[in-house]
Amino acid sequence: MNCNDTKLKARKSLDFVICMLYNISMKKIIVNGKYNGKKLNKILLDEVVGLTYSLFVNTLRKKDIKVNGKRTNKDIEIHTGDEILVYISDELLKQKKYDTEVTIIYEDDNILVYNKPQGIEVTGENSLTLYTHKKYSNLGFLPMPCHRIDRNTSGLVLFAKNQEALNILLEKFKLHEIKKHYYAWVYSIPKEKQKCLTAYLFKDNKKAKVYISDKPQKGYRKIVTKYKVIKENEDNTCILDIEIQTGRTHQIRAHLAHIGMPIIGDGKYGRNEINKKFNKKRQCLCSYSLEFEFKGNNGLLDYLNGKKIYLNKFENENYYK
């Protein structure tokens, strides 16, 4: 046995010990003709059960992937006959996936609209964005979100499927040419059934919370929130249709709580006794409509002008009761 053979045997023994100590599985894949010339992520996302794009990136960063015996930290091109070894924790592969939970409401060559359930972040680790990158990993451009909604807010989220569409949509949101409407189940029934509210919001990044003021103050930014009562209940609750002209962090939740109409289930801005009464642990807030009201140059998205994408009204009554 020569020196190189001895080193190879030692490395394999060390890999085995590490896998045993840290409950890491070693996945071995031989590249077939289907993946010849494809990127490394393509075969691994298809062949390794439970692997997400985020987890793939993290594993790559740690150099826990070998191609033909050499560790790599790049999403390299692979070829027929290549041997790929992946070292990854079984626990990470068992994390919850969203494939059966996320519904696509609308899709064409340029955009994609999801109905996001509660409990999923739009961006970040194990998020809707990373789920989308895995689902569309064969595209030259990985779809990107054009806006965000809170983790525990459900409803419509718009993604762009190419760079040109992304640039246009980001600009349209900035110009308020895409209207977003929400349903909110709130405690208390306002005397004024329709109103446009103006206030000022301060974001405390350290506390991950925002504060509302009726008057301008240093560090506070103007917010405009419109509401309309669309259903009143006998238990002193109602359903509001909400439109925001300024999309600040937690704007709807904090603004409604500020005027005495907390969203039921909101653990941050709501009232605990009310949340317990209705047995809700997440805010009952749903982004149900996107309306495209473009002006000027709309480029390849001109066909969207005048279009409305929406969820059916009260399609899930249990959400509110």
Three-class SS of 248-300: CCCHHHHHHHHCCCCECCCCCCCCHHHHHHCCCCCCCEEEEEEEECCCCCCHH
Provide the token pair at 303: 């066909």
The whole-number pLDDT of residue 13 equals 45
* Domains observed in the chain: 3-93 (3.10.290.10), 98-321 (3.30.2350.10)
Write phi, then psi, for 149 (nearest 5 degrees).
-130, 160
Give this prediction's pTM.
0.70
pLDDT, tens digit only, all 321 positions of the chain:
555 554 444 444 444 434 433 445 678 899 998 889 988 988 888 788 777 777 888 888 888 899 999 999 888 999 999 999 988 877 676 655 554 468 999 999 999 999 999 988 999 877 899 889 988 988 889 999 999 999 999 999 999 999 999 999 999 999 999 999 999 999 999 999 999 999 999 999 888 899 999 999 999 999 999 999 999 999 999 999 999 988 899 999 999 999 999 999 999 999 999 999 999 999 999 999 999 999 988 999 999 999 999 997 554 444 454
Cα–Cα distance for residue pair 319/269, rounded to 1 Å: 19
- Of the candidates 166, 183, 92, which has an alpha carbon nearest to the alpha carbon of residue 129? 166
Strands (E), the chain: 24-30, 65-67, 70-71, 83-89, 103-107, 111-116, 144-145, 154-160, 178-187, 194-204, 209-213, 221-232, 237-244, 285-292, 308-310
Measured CA to CA in angstroms, residue 179 lies from 149, 287, 305 at distances of 14, 11, 12
Residue 194 · residue 229 · CB < 8 Å = yes
CA quadruple 42, 45, 46, 47: dihedral sign: positive
The whole-number pLDDT of residue 229 equals 97
Can you tell me whether residue 73 is helix, strand or coil?
coil
Cα–Cα distance for residue pair 305/177, rounded to 1 Å: 9
Cα–Cα distance for residue pair 194/211, rounded to 1 Å: 23
What's the number of CA atoms in the CB half-sphere (13 Å) around residue 319?
Answer: 21
The whole-number pLDDT of residue 297 equals 85
Q: Which residues contact 57 (CB under 8 A, 6 or more apart)?
A: none
Residue 305 · residue 172 · CB < 8 Å = no
